[in-house]
Amino acid sequence: MRKLDEILNSLRPQKRALILGSIFVDLLINCPQLPKSGADSTAKFERGAVGGCAFNCADVLLKLGLPFDNLLPLGHGFIADFAAKELARRNFKAQVVDTAQDNGFCITFIEKSGERSFVTMPGLELNFKEQWFDALPLEKTDLVYLSGYQCEGSGIFEILKALQRLPYSARIVFDPGPRTGFIAPEVYKGLEQFKLIYALNAEEAMLKSGASSPQEAAAALSASCSQPAVVTEGARGAWLSQQGQTTLIPGFKIKLADTVGSGDAHSGGLMAGLICGLPLEECVLIANATAAAVSAQQGAACALGKKELLELLAGQY
């Protein structure tokens, strides 16, 4: 496998990609330790920021200069207005699809250790409509990113109908994330009819597969739909399982700030490599690097460009 600098400097888009998901507003709160049920704790409000798994994933592609289509719908209300202003500042185009609903938001509690916990208030992102896809060239799309937050509620069945327009060869990178244990079996079954690449962290992968280790979980998920699977294991790196072989792709050492958005950034790095037609081993190495870069900073949607990424990880490739 080539070194990271060679891989990043060779990025040339070959595939058409769609980032499918939601625009959330993340309210970041520093809390030294989460209270137990019924207890009390003092915390500090850090800031509000536009986020959402798909937006965080898209941020990686933007910073790496790679093109993509998106369906990150905006509604109408306080949260949507806040999000629209931030998107305009970033020159990021999102589509207003519904004036009757607001976007969702998420309260993120960040502990002293860097660990994070979430309380999510869903919005229109759970109510996708098939017609929202009509302006997209699905018939020419090679890759789709989808997060688990779109897989609850009736909207997922509208999404599944729309995805039938994809070419047979199209791949879907699916990150169930914290919703892994809440997604209905029929939704998993519907998604596994496509060329589905599971992308999860170790805890989520073991929950989904019933395996007792991240390595075994990656192998089980790959076998379940006869497609590759990627399972992250923090600073160690990520397990890639494909065609009956499971390999650990090494991670990168950084000074941890927090892990907010790191899984989404990993999926973004994976998508970046796939867009450029790279071998999966190299795609996962990019993903490990982009996730490390976000973990070295506070908050999400803070991916780095190629130059800054290589400077941060200097001496490790």
pLDDT at 160: 98
User: At 67, which amino acid appears?
Assistant: P
**pLDDT tens sequence across 181-240:** 999 999 999 999 999 999 999 999 999 999 999 999 999 999 999 999 999 999 999 999
Distance separating alpha carbons of residues 282 and 261, to the nearest angstrom: 21
Q: How many residues does the chain have?
A: 317
3-state secondary structure at position 235: helix
pLDDT at 250: 97
User: Is 99 a residue whose pLDDT tops 90?
Assistant: no
What residue segments make up the domains of the chain, in order of their start? 4-23+52-103+124-312
User: Is 93 a residue whose pLDDT tops 90?
Assistant: no
- Any idea which architecture 4-23+52-103+124-312 has in CATH? 3-Layer(aba) Sandwich (3.40)
User: At 85, which amino acid appears?
Assistant: K
Distance separating alpha carbons of residues 29 and 49, to the nearest angstrom: 11
pLDDT at 94: 84
User: Is 317 a residue whose pLDDT tops 80?
Assistant: no
**pLDDT tens sequence across 101-153:** 999 998 989 998 988 898 988 888 888 999 999 999 999 999 999 999 899 88
User: At 281, which amino acid appears?
Assistant: E
- Structural tokens at position 239: 């397990």
Residues with Cβ within 8 Å of 252's Cβ and at least 6 positions away in sequence, in order, are 235, 288, 289, 292, 313, 316
Distance separating alpha carbons of residues 312 and 315, to the nearest angstrom: 9
What is the overall mean pLDDT for the chain? 94
**pLDDT tens sequence across 41-82:** 999 998 888 888 999 999 999 999 999 999 999 999 989 999
CB 264 within 8 A of CB 56: yes
